[in-house]
Amino acid sequence: MTDAAAAQRSSLLSMKLVALVRDHTGTADVRPAEGFGGGAAALVDGAAWVLLDAQPERGLGAALAWALRRDATSLHVLAERATGHLARRAVGFAFPISVWHVEGRTLLPAIAEPVPTAPSLAPAHREWWHTIVEAGALPVVEHGVLAGEVEGLEVCRVVDDADTGAVRLEVGVGAHDRETFQLLHGDRPTAESLADVVRSVAAHRQPGAARHPLNLLAQERALRAQLVANPSLIGASDVRPAEPPTARQNLKDAVPCVATAVVDGAPVVVVCSSGVDIDVVPFAVDARAVLGIAECRVVVPSRDALDIQVRLGAVAQPPITIVALNP
């Protein structure tokens, strides 16, 4: 989108927000604020009103941050989709948050949808667990999918053949790489092929390795792998990968990942994030709801830690701790 198109889109969203708030509240004096990316925002009688446009499912953190920075007394989040998802996450905060579904010029109260139930791992898929371990990768199960990771980067995945239904272990980084690898090396024993890939990827995922595409991907998962190998970094005696609240769509997107830890004998949810992610706290709210564990820590590299994340964590209910970890 060009700068001119982006400016026009922003103007239209501001006008839309003004109309929605006026119609809903009967307040004539509604003035949109400037500088809210991904939508529009306004402060009306102390209440923050935020219209989410781009990726509304990941917009609660930005909306709440905008409200907190302006000392708002409450937050109203408006969106045309993903409002059930937003309403569920909003329940996890002590700060007053109302989520509204936009239907034309009408605002309808959003109904919180339940946390998605992850499918269980098929027994035939679990049979590949030891092959993954023997090749030197870490088995990770997420939403019914068994994959193997090397320092957080997925290098294999158990799949059902689309034509025959047979279960097989595909080797490679990402779907395209797995398909190419299968075409080129389909006659090689899977264990041998996977071990070769594990060694190759591991060389690029070590601390101090030269910049390479293989160590730029899934940095949040590299952080989780670091904690699994050395739980004492966060004062834990054990850290293990756990299910995320929603399935990851692809390897290229930087999406927080989840683990469970044992700290002073008690279970703790750990959410790892890398890069500046303003929505990591709402994600963590969802993650601990899935796992049924109240204590939660968000772990980020120190370079990516933000004061606003600490403020967001403080208004979660119960509060979520932000841990800045030196690389």
Task: Return per-residue pLDDT of the chain as tens, 327 residues.
Answer: 677 777 888 899 999 999 999 999 998 889 999 878 889 999 999 999 999 998 999 999 999 999 999 999 999 999 999 999 999 999 999 999 999 999 999 999 999 999 888 899 999 999 999 999 999 999 999 999 999 999 999 999 999 988 888 999 999 887 666 666 665 556 566 788 899 999 999 999 988 889 988 888 999 999 999 999 999 999 999 999 999 998 888 777 789 999 999 999 999 999 999 999 999 999 999 999 999 999 999 999 999 999 999 999 999 999 999 999 986
pLDDT the model gives residue 54: 84
For residue 128, the tally of other CB atoms under 10 A from its CB is: 21
Which amino acid is residue 289, in one-letter code?
A
Predicted TM-score (pTM) of the model is 0.92
Contact 159/167 with Cβ under 8 angstroms? yes
Distance CA 223, CA 230 (A): 10
Contact 293/268 with Cβ under 8 angstroms? yes
Cα distances (angstroms) measured from residue 185 to each of 197, 198, 203 = 12, 15, 21
CA 86-147-60 angle, 5° bins: 15
* Helices and strands: H and E segment counts in the chain: 11, 15
Distance CA 140, CA 145 (A): 8
Distance CA 220, CA 257 (A): 7
Cα of 110 vs its chain's centroid, Å: 22
- In the beta sheet, which residues pair with residue 167? 160
pLDDT the model gives residue 71: 97
Specify whether the backbone of 282 is left (phi greater than 0), alpha (psi in -120 to 50) or beta. Answer: alpha
Radius of gyration, alpha carbons of the chain: 22
